[in-house]
Structure 1
Amino acid sequence: MSTVPDLTHGADDIVVPFHVDELDLRGRVARLGRSATTIIDRHGYPPEVSRLLAEATALTVLLGSGLKFDGRLILQTQTDGPVRMLVVDVTTPDKVRALARFDAGKVAEAAAAGRADPASLLGSGQLVMTIDQGAETQRYQGIVSLDGQGLEQAADQYFRQSEQIETRVRLAAAEELVPGENGPSRAWRAGGMLVQHVPKAGSAITRDLAPGDAPDGTPLPEPDEAWAEARALTDTIGDDELVDRTVSPERLLFRLFHERGVRVFDAQGVSDHCTCSRDKIENIVRSFTPQERHDMVEHGAITVTCEYCSTSYKFAPAEFDPAE
């Protein structure tokens, strides 16, 4: 019989890759805690927007952690729903930032009417995945329709279109009360799992939990049956399991795949990190014309606030135009 391994690393702000060779399955589990809370708390988004952005962040982290090169993966939605735009930017290997744009009145109306699910909040439009390997290479973009579907379904469709790989994505986010010396505080958690059927991928893999809990002599499933089994098991995951701080990604994987045997790889950390800086913002301001910079002056200064991290940069007009 397989046993649960003794795993001691933290279960938050990580991505854990895994393989299930008997099902020709590979995948990753993401668990976000402090990073999701930090991103959301900077903006004071309504709970419905916060939950959607947390799920989008978990999805982008899952996808970005699969890149095998230094670069960026950017997820962006452009829709006509109450939440008209989400942007999540992952810089490999471990940095993420995110923001949302929305109509507060429409979000409140949707919540009051019980229509705060991802598909309703997003409405009709598109999801764009951009992979950027740097200035010397051409960007790759994949576009998926969001008409009537949420982020999970859009991600499944993205992989069918772009890579022709059978893929299932699960996402969840929740707000929790965290006890503290000054009373409980609110925090956000997000989790996700991505599983992909990759035939023959298991031939070069050795198991950590081999041979699973299935009785000796149990036949291996046929490829179509293997994917059906993997998808069915993935769909049994409750949203609470994806975000529960007491259930590590490794333990969750053991619950799902112990009969087949699952190999878990080293976790990759994730941290909230914005790439803005005073020098970058200064260069952007210098790209405007003198008249445009003059129109930007308020109370004797040019102030630019980063939409991602809400950091404000203040410049004296004379830094750009000595005559000011």
Structure 2
Amino acid sequence: MTAPSAPPSAALDSVLPYAVPSLDLRGRVVRLGPALDAILARHAYPTPVARLLAEAIALTSLLGTALKFEGRFVLQTRTDGPVSMLIVDFQTPDGLRAYASFDAEAVEAAIAQGSATPADLLGRGHLAMTIDQGGDMNRYQGVVALDHTGLEEVAHVWFQQSEQIPTKVRLAVAEELTRLPGGGTRHAWRAGGLLAQFLPESEDRRRARDLHPGDAPEGTDLPEVADDDAWTEAEALVATIEDLELTDPEVSAERLLFRLFHERGARVFEPQTLVERCRCSRERVEDMLGQFTAEQVEDMTVDGAIVVTCEFCSTKYTFDPATVRPPAA
């Protein structure tokens, strides 16, 4: 890979796959801009909540774009923290939607106390990652515990437990303020991330360190698996990434990869564009309402109408209760 001098092929709202053959390394770089802005602007989240959801969107983009079939990748958290739930829904090949559920007073208190880091906002609970191929295909779900940990850390645990592939993830979020010619400023959210995985052809080299079996007798000697030199080098290089390098619009994904791996040689592949896209529709909401009983429909009626708001895109759908057809008894 030579130093990029032309405009980057992988601009904002895209994922760039790459490989470093000399290190048996493969991965992806994500850079988010307008699509992220559109998702966050609909809900006017407090800044720490917006940052946390942006991290989750970046992580989901890195993982979801690895799917080689039509389907969905869903990241969801349920915790006891001020942000009780995050949901990011990726629909192949390029669709993103997301929202956060939070306690406004608890978030405000956390900000006032200086304890509004992602780990603080999440608290304790779990994170689930679900791969849904649709139709009659089985769904795959991996669940890991959250215990005042951030998304980067929990992503590493998820890969260690579910896929046992040595993996390193970096995530970053930034706010961009631009002065306008006529005065004032324009605010924009930016997020970026890098995923690196050690995938040698040799099975022996691919083994990660064994997880400690919880039911092993005390004092049991567990086999040691030394880190591969290539993976040790890759980890060290990824650790040098600064947040600004992942979010600065002037630092393309190609340039970042060149900075990291120019001595080893990196190959880049066709970038995957990302778009903000909700799948809600009036027809889908109407079908959903048709699953409720007449009594439930009556309970949902306020001032002679049923109003349903999509949690993802905030679109409001209004229905006349008389047109809702509950299922036959």
Does TM, normalized by the shorter one, top 0.5?
yes
- Bigger shift: 271-280 or 179-188? 179-188
Q: Tell me by how many angstroms 1:104 deviates.
A: 1.1
Q: Which amino acid aligns with 1:311?
A: T
SS in 2 for 1:137: coil
Q: Tell me by how many angstroms 1:114 deviates.
A: 1.8
Say what the alpha-carbon RMSD is for the aligned residues.
Answer: 1.7
Q: In structure 1, what is the equivalent of residue 107 of structure 2?
A: 107
Contact 1:77–1:84 (8 Å) recurs in 2: yes
Q: Write the distance in 2 (CA, Å) between the matches of 1:3 and 1:281.
A: 50
Please give the residue correspondences for 1:146-225 in structure 2 after superposition, counting only pairs within 5 Å: 146-180=146-180, 183-200=184-201, 224-225=228-229
Contact 2:64–2:73 (8 Å) recurs in 1: yes
Q: In structure 1, what is the equivalent of residue 92 of structure 2?
A: 92
Q: Write the distance in 2 (CA, Å) between the matches of 1:297 and 1:121.
A: 35
SS in 1 for 2:143: strand
Please give the residue correspondences for 1:225-304 in structure 2 after superposition, counting only pairs within 5 Å: 225-304=229-308
Q: CA deviation digits over 1:239-286, x for unaligned, max 9?
A: 111111110000000000000000011110001000000000000111
Q: Tell me by how many angstroms 1:105 deviates.
A: 1.3
Q: Which amino acid aligns with 2:109?
A: E
- Which runs of no fewer than 5 residues in structure 2 stay unpaired? 203-225
Q: CA deviation digits over 1:100-130, x for unaligned, max 9?
A: 0111111112122222211111011100001
- Which runs of no fewer than 5 residues in structure 1 stay unpaired? 202-221
SS in 2 for 1:231: helix
Contact 1:13–1:270 (8 Å) recurs in 2: yes
Q: Identity, % of aligned pairs?
A: 56
Contact 2:290–2:325 (8 Å) recurs in 1: no
Q: CA deviation digits over 1:33-79, x for unaligned, max 9?
A: 00111100000100000000000000001000001110000000011
Q: Would the alpha carbon gap of residues 126 and 223 (structure 1) be closer, same or farther in structure 2, given more than 3 Å must change?
A: closer
Contact 1:175–1:186 (8 Å) recurs in 2: yes
Q: Which amino acid aligns with 2:234?
A: A
Q: Write the distance in 2 (CA, Å) between the matches of 1:8 and 1:173.
A: 20
SS in 1 for 2:135: coil
Q: In structure 1, what is the equivalent of residue 49 of structure 2?
A: 49
Q: Which amino acid aligns with 2:22?
A: E
Aligned residues: 302
Contact 1:276–1:306 (8 Å) recurs in 2: yes
Q: Which runs of 4+ in 1 moved over 4 A?
A: none
Please give the residue correspondences for 1:119-138 in structure 2 after superposition, counting only pairs within 5 Å: 119-138=119-138
Q: Tell me by how many angstroms 1:148 deviates.
A: 2.8
Using the size of structure 1 for normalisation, the TM-score is 0.90
Q: In structure 1, what is the equivalent of residue 36 of structure 2?
A: 36
Contact 2:72–2:91 (8 Å) recurs in 1: yes
Contact 1:77–1:126 (8 Å) recurs in 2: yes
Q: In structure 2, what is the equivalent of residue 305 of structure 1?
A: 309
Contact 1:199–1:223 (8 Å) recurs in 2: no
SS in 1 for 2:9: coil
Q: Which amino acid aligns with 2:90?
A: V
Q: In structure 1, what is the equivalent of residue 205 of structure 2?
A: none
